[in-house]
Amino acid sequence: MNNNNFKHNRHTAVMHVSATKMSQDYTIEDCKRYHKSKGWSDIGYHFYIEKDGTLHQGRPLDKNGAHVSGFNSGTIGICTEGGLDERGVPKDTMTDLQRLTVEGLLLSLKIENPKMKVKGHRDYSPDLNGNNVIEKHEFLKACPCYDAQEKFKVFNGDLETILKKLGK
Ligand SMILES: [Zn+2]
């Protein structure tokens, strides 16, 4: 992957999970096959991060993804493998290696567009009671099984603060 793979002018990175158990292998090829079986032209995500932290390019960033209904224009879809416990219940299963990869990816994307924000798929659920907070009972989906705005809070700040925080 070269730096051109991160060039974009999109306003929000949206985090997802594959919604699979950590005991199961669900590679980018599996994901691509599934999305194509739904009749899509390509994998719906722009980036896919496997359990061991390997970063894969999905759909190129100059094309809209297919990952968050109604909001594919202007957003970047990032999916990490996992998201379910062994009983199949939504759980934050992100490994340290996945987290490091996500942080590096978000930093690269933020450098391309310092105004970019980070959200989770579930943050696009409707605010049914209109209190400006998307609450748990309002989630259309559990995805990404964690609070992305909290977990990657630093990336919603300015670039200088991020660089300081990451000690680079
Ligand atoms: Zn999702």
- Ligand 1 centroid to 94 CA: how many Å? 14
Q: What is the mean pLDDT of residues 122-141?
A: 83
**Tell me, what DSSP letter sits at residue 101?**
H
pLDDT at 134 over 70: yes
When pLDDT is cut at 50, 70 and 90, the band that residue 3 belongs to is: low
- Mean pLDDT highest for which of 93-97, 121-125, 135-139, 164-168? 93-97
Question: In this model, does residue 168 exceed pLDDT 60?
Answer: no
Cα(146) to ligand 1 centroid in Å equals 11
Q: How far is the CA of 86 from the centre of ligand 1 (A)?
A: 19
- Average of per-residue pLDDT across 55-70: 96
**H-state helical runs in the chain:** 28-37, 96-112, 148-151, 159-166
Q: Please give the pLDDT value at position 140.
A: 78
Cβ atoms 116, 12 nearer than 8 A: yes
Residue 70 clears pLDDT 60, i.e. is over it: yes
Condensed to tens digits (0 to 9), the pLDDT of residues 11-46 reads 999 999 999 999 999 999 999 999 999 999 999 999
**Which domains are delineated in the chain?**
3-165 (3.40.80.10)
Ligand 1 centroid to residue 67 C-alpha, Å: 6
pLDDT tens digits, one per residue of 74-103: 999 999 999 999 999 999 999 999 999 999
| 15 Cα–ligand 1 center, Å | 7
What pLDDT does residue 133 have? 84
Supply the pTM of this predicted model.
Answer: 0.93
CA of 117 to the centre of ligand 1 (A): 16
Helices 159-166, 96-112: inter-axial angle, 10-degree rounding:
150
Which three-class secondary structure state does DSSP give residue 70?
coil
Query: What is the b/e burial string over 107-133, where b = at least 16 CB atoms within 10 angstroms of the residue's CB?
Result: bbbbeebeebbbbbbbbbbeeeeeeee
* pLDDT (mean) for 128-136: 83
